[in-house]
Amino acid sequence: MTAIIEVQGLRKEFKIAKRKEGAFSALRSLFSREYTTKLAVNDVSFSIQPGELVGYIGPNGAGKSTTIKMLTGILVPTGGQVRVRGLVPYEKRTENARQIGVVFGQRTQLWWDLPTIESFQLLQHIYKVPAQQFTRNMDRFRELLGLDEFLQTPVRQLSLGQRMRADLAAALLHDPKILYLDEPTIGLDVVAKEKIREFMKEINRERGVTVILTTHDMQDIEKMCERMILIDKGTVIYDGPLAQIKERFGKLRTLVVDLEPNGFGADLRIEGAEQMKREANRFWLRFNRDLISASQLIARVSEQYAIRDLTVEEPEIEGIISRIYQEGL
């Protein structure tokens, strides 16, 4: 299968003017200006197949948004090659815009003072979306995103969650093959986040839309993506299945056990586990699943203590990613 997005040796540098100090420094800068070079993206390569839902993650300043802006054609690469459905984005900006949708969590493509429905109607004309296609898409998005409650409301009066739902619908009105999501759940409450995630998974299944998601919310990645590209200081340090990262770095699990209120001291001493903390009759025991299974550990606890309740906690992806950045791959 031919890749829908191909990136080879992508590089982006920014020139930043040095500020001169002292009297008349601004005047001197008009005639003689020095620059420093900031390398935002350095030799990034990857390919994405049609229909993939890929998490593109990294810390602040890692180069995520810069990469997305080069894929959309907003920025011109300093070096390397990028093709989106066969097009070089910055050379064919108009053609590229017709085949992609973009949602930036901090910005909106809707008209601030117009009712939301009128923004959709304007986008219909901008993208030359046929009436039948527009009606079909609006009906589907109203159903999946609950748009009816605010279609007549001016965009400036929408809550953040409502605006994000409207922006998602706006980005998909023209049936793009590719969708770039940059922090789509930032600032949203738990219910709103879940609604956005379910919508994206449904659109990906239903229409085969290829999605690249950048986010700091690791729950977005864990609930939506099977593949993850991890970038740090402008360089890709991992590209592969999310499950593989969890398998490699998520060996430590936690058994949370509630004991009957008798027959134990300050600590539980169980072979193969380490007590992490205690609250009253509840204990957190950390263990390596490669050395002992959860069932074996539970059996050892039950041999010595009366168990009231227990759960096994898997390692959180956020903690795994943090560990990778601290310790490296």
Per-residue pLDDT 10s for the chain (329 aa) are 689 999 999 999 998 877 666 555 665 565 666 778 889 999 999 999 999 999 998 888 888 889 999 999 999 999 999 999 999 999 999 999 999 999 987 788 899 999 999 999 999 999 999 999 999 999 999 999 999 999 999 999 999 889 999 999 999 999 999 999 988 888 888 888 898 899 999 999 999 999 999 988 888 888 899 899 999 888 998 999 988 887 777 788 889 998 887 766 667 888 889 888 888 888 999 898 888 888 899 999 888 888 889 888 877 777 777 777 777 66
> Per-residue pLDDT tens for 57-114?
888 888 888 999 999 999 999 999 999 999 999 999 999 999 999 998 778 889 999 9
Which pLDDT value is given to residue 22? 58
pLDDT of residue 276: 87
Question: Model-level pTM greater than 0.75?
Answer: yes
* Tokens describing residue 82: 């990028």
Q: Could you tell me if 43 and 112 are in contact, meaning their C-beta atoms sit under 8 angstroms apart?
A: no
- Please tell me if the domain spanning 5-247 has the same topology as the one spanning 251-313: no
Hey, what are 164's tokens?
Answer: 């994000």
Contact between 221 and 57 (Cβ < 8 Å): yes
- pLDDT value at position 25? 61
The Cα–Cα gap between 65 and 72 comes to 10
Integer Rg of the chain from CA: 25
The CA–CA distances, whole Å, from 123 to 41, 69, 102, 134, 167 equal 32, 21, 13, 10, 11
**Res 120: pLDDT:** 97
Domain boundaries, the chain: 5-247, 251-313
Q: Which amino acid is at 45?
A: S
Span 5-247 CATH architecture: 3-Layer(aba) Sandwich (3.40)
Identify the pLDDT of residue 229. Answer: 94
Domain 251-313 fold is: Alpha-Beta Plaits (3.30.70)
Segments in the chain forming alpha helices (H): 25-31, 64-72, 93-98, 116-126, 131-145, 160-172, 190-207, 218-224, 242-249, 294-304, 317-327
In the prediction, which pLDDT does 157 show? 95
Positive or negative, the Cα torsion across 72, 77, 83, 88? positive
- Per-residue pLDDT, 115: 96
User: Residue 261: its pLDDT value, please?
Assistant: 79
